[in-house]
Homo-oligomer: A and B are copies of this chain.
């Protein structure tokens, strides 16, 4: 059965992916490939494979065709063909089949991923950076002799980032949880926390990472005060996080207080608390939400997840993203699964006469691209 399109639009709007990462810049062996199909940080249970998941099935549904294979072909055949073409050609084909016309790229976990410029070349589409706050702090700490220097340099780095970046991103959910102190922390507390962090940093790899709630809050407030949009990871992710401490509702007091800065806050993913994210986008004018990561990961069920987001979220407050990382497959899957889900939902509501076709077309354009363009100040195209 063919993908339902939007009968009320001449063509599906091209997409702005407001949150993604780079792709691996090498050929991947099967284990490495599979490791990108899960949020787990260890191999699959004996007797199981991460290909046996909604995400794995969605990859096998959508990705073989651009590589010249039949949909649903076995993983081994798919991986063999991918190696045959090489990672660059495979990536080019997959990205260009996605219908994504513009990318905002998290600068975070970049060691073996393509830098932004390479992604642009492969995809044939422009990209802008989203600066990951915690990484910025960690890089700054690497060269700061004292807490005073660290905080001054960090302030400069955030300020400098505003000249090129489209926004900031916080992964406080992974580092501590979203039950952070809501208000802007007192400078004295920030200074003390920075001193503690610098003193402990040498001890372990984990200690290198910023995880103090006061520092995490300081980063979010520093970013908010620039006025650029602030993305916040909420909901599910790898086992580093404690999911029940990533409910976006834990940000409610922060959202109340940060409104005065004029900063837009975009709640990412949210699953399984995406209805709560939608509620926050409903009651706060400066709050937006997506279900990025959750769509590819839930595959054939993405339609249900997107539908839940579209209960309370005002239609001008919902964005599209893939949160793709490592595999170009995740861009294509994120985009196709989203298109399929959106088309099914809107067509169904039009068919029931709950929505008019004109409204459905307008909402599709908002979610696919127009709202992201407005929030991040992107030029059309």
Supply 12 A–B pairs (Cβ within 8 Å), ascending by A. Answer: A39-B283, A54-B310, A54-B311, A57-B354, A60-B359, A239-B252, A243-B249, A243-B276, A243-B279, A300-B349, A301-B310, A301-B311
Separation of A267 and B286 alpha carbons in the complex (Å): 31
B61 touches A353 (CB 8 A): yes
Whether A38 contacts B239 in the complex (CB less than 8 A), given A47-B316, A244-B249, comes out as no
Q: Which residues on the B side are within 8 Å of A160 (C-beta)? A: none
Q: Which residues on the B side are within 8 Å of A112 (C-beta)? A: none
Can you name the residue of chain B whose Cβ is closest to the Cβ of A374? Answer: B47
The smallest beta-carbon distance between A339 and chain B, in angstroms, is: 13
Whether A301 contacts B305 in the complex (CB less than 8 A), given A53-B314, A256-B239, A284-B239, comes out as no
B53 touches A284 (CB 8 A): no
Separation of A361 and B46 alpha carbons in the complex (Å): 21
Q: Which residues on the B side are within 8 Å of A284 (C-beta)? A: 40, 239
The smallest beta-carbon distance between A368 and chain B, in angstroms, is: 15
Q: How does the 8 Å CB contact mask read for A201-228 relative to B, with 1 for contact and 0 for none?
A: 0000000000000000000000000000
The smallest beta-carbon distance between A381 and chain B, in angstroms, is: 19
Q: Which residues on the B side are within 8 Å of A305 (C-beta)? A: 311
Query: Could you say which of A40, A272, A308 has the most chain B C-beta atoms within 10 Å of its C-beta?
Result: A272
The smallest beta-carbon distance between A38 and chain B, in angstroms, is: 7
Separation of A313 and B276 alpha carbons in the complex (Å): 22
